[in-house]
Structure 1
Amino acid sequence: NTKHGQRFEVLSNDCVAVGKPQAQVSWILPDRTFLRDVWHQNTGLPGLGPPGSAAVQLLSNGTLRIQAANFSSKGNYKCIASNAAGADTLTYNINVAALPPAIEEEASESTVLQTGGNIYLHCTAKGEPPPTLKWSLPKGIQIKPSQVLGGRLFVFPNGTLYMTSTTSSDSGRYECSAVNAVGMAKRVVQLDIVQGAFSPRQHQVKAMYGSTVYLHCPESMKSPRGALWTLPSKILKVGVDDQGKYACVSRNSAGDEIKNVKLEVEAQEPQIGGKGGKTSMKVLAVSYQTKLLHCKAEGMPNPRITWTTPQGISMLAPYHGGRFQVFCQKGTCAS
C-alpha cells in the first residue's frame, strides 16, 4: 500500500491480524528498527525511525501511528503478523510531501553604506525538509549559520548575516542560498561601502534590474530635525526609468545640506541560447510529425519572444492557432 501524507499530519497504518492461535503483530521501520507489541504497546517512541523523523507509536490493535510526519518519515513500513502456523506481511510505502526552499526577503537587493558602519543582511528560508543555508561572500568565501569569520562577520541561526566595522573592501555581491532535497532558492545583495561623507563621485550606486534598492543618508547628516529624500529612499523592483539623481536633504538652524546619489540600473541585452546577435540553426523534421523548435532567451528585463514563419507570419508567445503553437515553460519557449 502507498500512502501520501502532508507535513505535521498524523498517519495511522492499520495492521489487523487474525489467526489461531492469535497472531502477534510486529513492525519493521525504514531504518530496520524492529517493534513488537509485547514490548512497545501504546508507547510513544520519539527515538525510533530515521534520523529527524517524527515520533512513532504502536497501538494495542497493531496500528502504527506516526505523529507529526515530516519528510524524514518517508519509506517502507512493514507489518508482520505471525503465529505458530506461519506469518503474513503488509508493507506501507509512506510518502510525505516535500516543499522546495523559499526565501522570504527580496530575491535581489542593492544597498549603500558608509565605511565603519554595521549592517544586517537578512535571509529567512523555509522548506521541507528544512533547507541548508549558506552565504557566499564577494571573494568566494562561504559562511554558514552560527559561524564567525574574522571577528567581524557572523551568521545567526535564522540566516541573517551581520557585518561590523565595514570597509570599502567589503563591497560586492553577497549571495544567500538555501538547498534541500527537492530544490534551491537564492537571494543576492549588492553591497556598496563608501568612504567618508557623500560626494557625487563616491555615491554612484549600481543596481540590478528588478532588485530593491535602499539609499541611506550618511551619519554625518543626521540632525535633530532629521534628514529627508527628495524621492523615496527605498525603491522596489527598479527599472531603467528609475535611473538618475536622488538628493538627501538635512535641515538644521544653519540651513539645508544636500548630498546627491546617482543611481544606475544595470540591464542585459537579450540572448538566445547564451549567444547575442543573430544566430541560425539547421534542424531536420519528419513529414506529418510534431517538431519542437526551442528558443531559450535571457535578458534584463525578461525579453518578449516572437516567432516568424517562412510565410512571414509573426507569433507572439504564447500562441495557439492552426498548425503552429508557441508555448513557454521555465524560461524556454518552443514552437
Structure 2
Amino acid sequence: MDKQERKRILITGAAGFLGSHLCDRFIAEDFDVIGMDNMITGDLRNIEHLFKLPNFEFYHHDVSKFVHVPGKLNFILHFASPASPVDYLRIPIQTLKVGSLGTHNLLGLAKSKRARILVASTSEVYGDPLISPQSEEYWGNVNPVGPRGVYDEAKRFQEAITMAYHNVHGLDTRIVRIFNTYGPRMRLNDGRALPTFIAQALRGEDLTVFGDGNQTRSFCYVSDQIEGIFRLLFSDYAQPMNIGNPDELTINNMAREIISLTGNQSKIRYVPLPIDDPKQRRPDIRKARRILNWTPTVNRKEGLLQTINYYQQMPPEELKQKNFTYYNQEQ
C-alpha cells in the first residue's frame, strides 16, 4: 500500500500483552501504527522488533494526561489499563484514571480527528455474575467499593462515556468486552492464574489455587482474541460485544492440565479466596458469531503448549522470579 493511502492507527497500551499483538496485526495489515504506553505495566521487549520499521512509531505517554498526536488518524484502539488484580490493588487510582480521564482524552482525540475508536472493556463489568453464560444484556453484579471495584467501575464508566460520545456527538465507536485471554507475552508475575500456574510448574513448585478451585474461567487464545477485535473494529456494530472462548473449565482442571503439559510433578496448594473473586466466567458469544462471523479456532491444548514454550524460552533468572499474589486480607 502506498504511504499516502495507508490508514493510520493509534494503539494505546501498545507495550502490553494485547496491545503488542494488536500492533503486530495492524503492521501486518500495512497500517501506519502509533504505539503509546506509559510503561507502568508494559514491557518494551514486546514491541522492540517493530522499532526498526518505517510504519511504526512509539510515544512514551500517559493517556490520563492530554493526548496530542499530529497528523491524521483513522482509528484509535484504547487498550491502556492495568489488567490484573495485582496491578489494580497496587495502583488503584491510576487504574481509575486511565479508565475515566484516559478514555475521555481519547474520545476527545477521536472526535477532533474524526476517527473511529474501539475501547477495550472486559468481562469485569459483569462482576461476580449471578447468571451464566454472561450475555451483553446482563447488567452485572459488582461491588463498587470492594478491592476489584476500581477496575470494574473504571470499565463500566468507560463504556458509559463511550456510548455517550456515540449518542451525543455521533462518534464512530466500538466496545469489546474481553474475557480471559492467554498466550505469549502475558506477564509472568501479574498474579493471574494461568501464567502463575505455568511459572510455578516450570519451577517445580506447588500450584497455588484460590478457594476450593471450583470457580470457572473460559480461556481464549490471543490470536483468536485479536481476530475478534479486528473484525469488530471494521464492523458496523456500536454496542458492547463479548469476545472470548465459551469453553468453560474449573481452575482445578486448568491447574491439572498445566501440570500434565509441563511434565512436572507439582501438586496443588489451596489458599484463601480473594474478596469478590468471580465464581463463574463464561461468555455468550452468539452476537460475535452472528455479526462478525467469529468463533475461537485454537484449542486449549495447542494454545497452552505455545504459551508454555514462550515461558520456557525466558532467561532462567526471570523465570525464577516469584509471582505476586493478592490474598484476601480479611482472612
Which structure: larger Rg?
Answer: 1
User: 1 or 2, which has the higher helix percentage?
Assistant: 2
- Please, what TM-score do these two structures have when normalized by structure 2? 0.23
- Please, what TM-score do these two structures have when normalized by structure 1? 0.23
RCO comparison, higher one (Cα < 8 Å, 6+): 2
